[in-house]
Amino acid sequence: MDLMSEMLTTPFMQRALIGSLLLAVILGLFGVFIVPRKLGFMADGVSHASLLGIAVGLMFGGAPLLWAALVAACIGLVLAKIEDNSRLTLDSVVGIVLVGGMSSAVILMSLTSGYKPELVTYLFGSLLSISWNDIYLLIGFFVVTLFLFKLQWRTLVLTTVHGELSSVLGLPTSAAKYFLFVGTSVALIAGVKLLGVILISALLIIPFSAANQATRSLRSSLIVTECLAIGGTIAGIILSYVYDLPTGPAIALVFVALFLLCVIVGRIIPRPVLGHEHNQ
């Protein structure tokens, strides 16, 4: 109890808990659409490549995360644009962007003199690095993103099921796609201080993947995804605080454990088996 009250009254823990709550909700929602579209690798590629923005910020000044968000938004735009290009697969472009972004970042960092301790923070996340200004920015991003989700929800769901059907319905499929790609890219960067560029995709991919193992409807998988995202992030932060563990890896490992738990639960709960006798 003392530990709980100590955590809740410590300013950096307050900031970490508020920030993680907002991020978990947003990235959980994006995950509902990113995972079924098999865009998980895109998330890894964008977050890794955005290291270039962080390196530019550390080298030339300015907020590294704003540079990273700019880089991520540009990559999101490009990926959304080329998604339907028949000559290039999305995975191959993500691979190129990932390699190009990370390599440029490493070269840039090697050109700067002296040790850059902040780089480790951006790679793996750190509770101490989250400021109140970060929280205010995150609240603004949270409100705008939720509003856009409300506007685009039906289109996002139906384009995930089948793109052409959504177009026939006259839905704004293109706007929804750009929102998904750019929004996810920027949301990933918003979580870099919590989990770092290496692990942030865990918060996007694992909660929905885990929920999917044990749920049987979109509504239930949405609710379970959000519960797992929020619960897993907070549990990871508490573990990190109590046992003095690195925050990003602690949260990521909690998610992996939750995923395994959901796989077991999913095997216990029987799914209705639809056989050939219904094939009419």
Partner 1 sequence: MTSIVSNPTENIVECCDLTVVRDSKEILCEATCCVPRNSLTFLVGENGSGKTTLVKTILGLLPKHSGDITIYSEKGKNSDMVAGYVPQGITFPKQLQMTVTEYLRYSSQVKTEDIESVLSRVDFPQTHSEHTINQLSGGQQQKLLLAAELARSPEVLFLDEPLSNVDDSGEKHILDVILEIKNSGVTIVIITHDWQMVSKYADHVICLNKNFACDQQASCVCKNSLSTVNIKQIQKLTPDPETTHDGYCYIDNI
Distance of alpha carbon 46 from alpha carbon 197, whole angstroms: 9
Q: Which stretch, 68-76, 96-104, 136-144, 271-279, contacts partner 1 (CB under 8 A)?
A: 271-279
Residue 276 binds partner 1, judged by CB under 8 A: yes
Please choose, from the candidates 136, 138, 122, 147, the residue with its C-alpha nearest in 3D space to the C-alpha of residue 58: 122
Residue 116 binds partner 1, judged by CB under 8 A: no
Distance of alpha carbon 165 from alpha carbon 239, whole angstroms: 46
CA atoms within 13 A on the CB side of 98: 16
Size of residue set near partner 1 by CB under 8 A: 33
Whether 130 contacts 243, CB under 8 Å: no
Identify the residue among 158, 234, 253, 263 touching partner 1 (CB under 8 A): 158
Please choose, from the candidates 175, 199, 212, 216, the residue with its C-alpha nearest in 3D space to the C-alpha of residue 32: 212
Distance of alpha carbon 166 from alpha carbon 49, whole angstroms: 32
Q: What minimum distance in Å lies between the beta carbon of 154 and partner 1?
A: 6
Structure tokens at 143: 């409100």
- 4 or 168: whose CB is closer to partner 1? 168
Residues 218-257, interacting with partner 1 (CB under 8 A) = 218-221
Q: What minimum distance in Å lies between the beta carbon of 83 and partner 1?
A: 15
Identify the residue among 107, 128, 165, 242 touching partner 1 (CB under 8 A): 165
Residue 151 binds partner 1, judged by CB under 8 A: no
Identify the residue among 99, 161, 175, 223 touching partner 1 (CB under 8 A): 161
- List the Cα angle 94/196/201 in 5-degree steps: 45
- List the Cα angle 152/132/229 in 5-degree steps: 45
Q: Which stretch, 15-23, 101-109, 165-173, 239-247, contacts partner 1 (CB under 8 A)?
A: 165-173
Helix-strand-coil percent breakdown of the chain, rounded to 5? Answer: 80, 0, 20
SS3 (DSSP) at 273: coil
Structure tokens at 80: 């959304």
Residues 36-75, interacting with partner 1 (CB under 8 A) = 36-38
76-115 footprint of partner 1 as x/- string (CB under 8 A): ----------x-----------------------------
Identify the residue among 111, 113, 243, 271 touching partner 1 (CB under 8 A): 271
**Which residues sit at the interface with partner 1, rule CB under 8 A?**
35-38, 86, 154, 157-158, 160-162, 164-165, 167-170, 209, 212, 215-221, 271-272, 274, 276, 278-280
